[in-house]
């Protein structure tokens, strides 16, 4: 086991008596060679948790162990076990990607550092054209890829990636996932912090869904999906506004995102749903539709919505 988080609670006290419970009694573990997805909306408490794993913040309650030793006892040790890609852009100034990644590799690995690793990473991510461009002249995606490389050039036993694919184009995203996969083959573990649920689903071995400081559910993707039952989902692109469309009564949970409408249903309702969707398309209300088994995103939305309903 690489990481053991035991009942971690972190409360931020604001002005007066205001309290923000950023992490509420979180417990989970991460094994060697595992990719662990930490999903949740903005403000769910993901980055606070990461900062405690790194020893940058001290939990108010609970304990975090890295390779069997408490982080609080030795934060410096925690920082050498973990390598991090932060959520925000790192201002590289005049450092070129090659310089930045090489120096970070040397800082982490010392004499064991292999310069070929930088070449290989740049090749794998198709970054050659920017390798010697000054950081301040790089595009957002190229900067993000550079900080990703800084985190994985001499990876710690635990690599923490906070929204690594932000700003990155779809083609290089695929390369990036491949690099992450390769890390785990060498026995490194990865924490993937993201709100991009669709992407994470394909990459992670296990996930935890966080909301308002709590872990709502954790397990492998199929376990998390089955928490919302064995269902199908349909995704529709709307031609007209939602108010023109009558969502069928058998829709179990629905949500709309721009012109995209998604709802889930019992598998027995698949044929009625297809007929309904075809009918909507014939009326010119829907551009196209796709039917699939439920995804983690459905579980995620249902779980976070449920919690709001309770409150």
Partner 1 sequence: MGIVSHYKYVFQIQLIRNAGFFIFIALLQILISIGIVIGFTYLIPNPDTETILFLATGAPTIIFIFTGLVILPQQIGNAKTDGYMEYMRTWPVNRSVILGADTTIWLLITLPGIIVSTIVAHLMFTPGYDISWTVVPALLMIALTSIGIGYGFSYLLSPVASMGISQAVVFGALMFSPVNFPMDRLPEWLQSLHEVLPIYSMAEVMRASLAASTFDATIGNYINLMVWCILGFGGAIFILNRK
Give the span between the Cα atoms of 69 and 56, in whole angstroms. 16
Q: Are strands 3-13 and 61-66 parallel, antiparallel or unpaired?
A: antiparallel
Q: How many residues does the chain have?
A: 311
> Least CB distance from residue 55 to partner 1, whole Å?
7
Residues at the interface with partner 1 (CB under 8 A):
54-58, 75-76, 79-80, 82-84, 86, 88-95, 99-100, 103-104, 106-108, 110-111, 135, 156
**Residue number with CB closer to partner 1 (14 or 110):** 110
b (16+ CB within 10 A) / e for 256-279: eeeeebbbbbeeebeeebeebbee
**Residue number with CB closer to partner 1 (47 or 264):** 47
Taking Cα atoms as reference points, which of 58, 55, 3 lies closest to residue 27? 3
**Residue number with CB closer to partner 1 (82 or 209):** 82
> Least CB distance from residue 147 to partner 1, whole Å?
8
Q: Are strands 232-238 and 286-293 parallel, antiparallel or unpaired?
A: antiparallel
> Least CB distance from residue 83 to partner 1, whole Å?
8
**Residue number with CB closer to partner 1 (100 or 191):** 100
Give the span between the Cα atoms of 183 and 197, in whole angstroms. 21
Could you tell me the two tokens for 306? 């449920």
> Least CB distance from residue 17 to partner 1, whole Å?
23
Taking Cα atoms as reference points, which of 135, 121, 158 lies closest to residue 29? 158
| Residue with tokens 């912090």, as numbered in its chain | 193
Could you tell me the two tokens for 142? 């190229």
**Residue number with CB closer to partner 1 (56 or 247):** 56
**Residue number with CB closer to partner 1 (95 or 197):** 95
> Least CB distance from residue 156 to partner 1, whole Å?
8
> Least CB distance from residue 125 to partner 1, whole Å?
20
Q: What is the DSSP letter of 234?
A: E
Taking Cα atoms as reference points, which of 12, 24, 85, 77 lies closest to residue 50? 85
> Least CB distance from residue 161 to partner 1, whole Å?
12
Give the span between the Cα atoms of 200 and 202, in whole angstroms. 5
**Residue number with CB closer to partner 1 (193 or 262):** 193
> Least CB distance from residue 230 to partner 1, whole Å?
42
Give the span between the Cα atoms of 282 and 164, in whole angstroms. 41
**Residue number with CB closer to partner 1 (41 or 88):** 88
Give the span between the Cα atoms of 53 and 46, in whole angstroms. 11
């Amino acid at each position: 086991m690489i990481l053991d988080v035991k009942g971690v609670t972190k409360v931020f006290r604001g002005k007066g008596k205001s309290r923000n419970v950023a992490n509420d009694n979180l417990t989970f573990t991460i094994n060697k060679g595992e990719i662990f997805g930490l999903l949740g909306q903005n403000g769910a408490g993901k980055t606070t948790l990461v900062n405690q794993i790194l020893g940058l913040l001290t939990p108010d309650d609970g304990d975090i162990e890295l390779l069997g030793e408490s982080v609080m006892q030795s934060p410096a040790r925690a920082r050498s076990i973990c390598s991090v890609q932060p959520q925000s852009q790192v201002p590289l100034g005049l450092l070129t990607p090659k310089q930045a990644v090489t120096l970070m590799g040397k800082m982490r690995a010392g004499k064991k550092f292999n310069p070929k690793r930088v070449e290989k990473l740049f090749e794998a991510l198709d970054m050659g054209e920017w390798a010697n461009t000054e950081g301040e002249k790089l595009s957002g995606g190229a900067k993000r890829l550079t900080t990703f490389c800084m985190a994985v050039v001499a990876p710690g036993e635990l690599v923490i990636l906070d929204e690594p694919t932000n700003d990155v184009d779809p083609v290089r995203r695929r390369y990036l996932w491949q690099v992450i996969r390769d890390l785990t083959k060498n026995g490194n573990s990865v924490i993937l912090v993201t709100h991009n649920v669709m992407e994470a689903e394909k990459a992670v071995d296990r996930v935890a869904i966080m909301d308002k400081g709590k872990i709502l559910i954790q397990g492998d993707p199929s376990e998390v999906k089955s928490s919302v039952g064995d269902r199908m989902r349909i995704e529709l692109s709307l031609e007209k506004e939602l108010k023109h469309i009558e969502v069928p009564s058998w829709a179990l949970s629905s949500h709309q995102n721009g012109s995209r409408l998604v709802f889930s249903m019992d598998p027995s309702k698949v044929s009625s749903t297809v007929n309904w969707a075809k009918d909507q398309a014939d009326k010119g209300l829907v551009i196209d539709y796709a039917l699939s088994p439920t995804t983690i995103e459905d579980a995620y939305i249902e779980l976070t919505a449920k919690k709001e309903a309770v409150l």
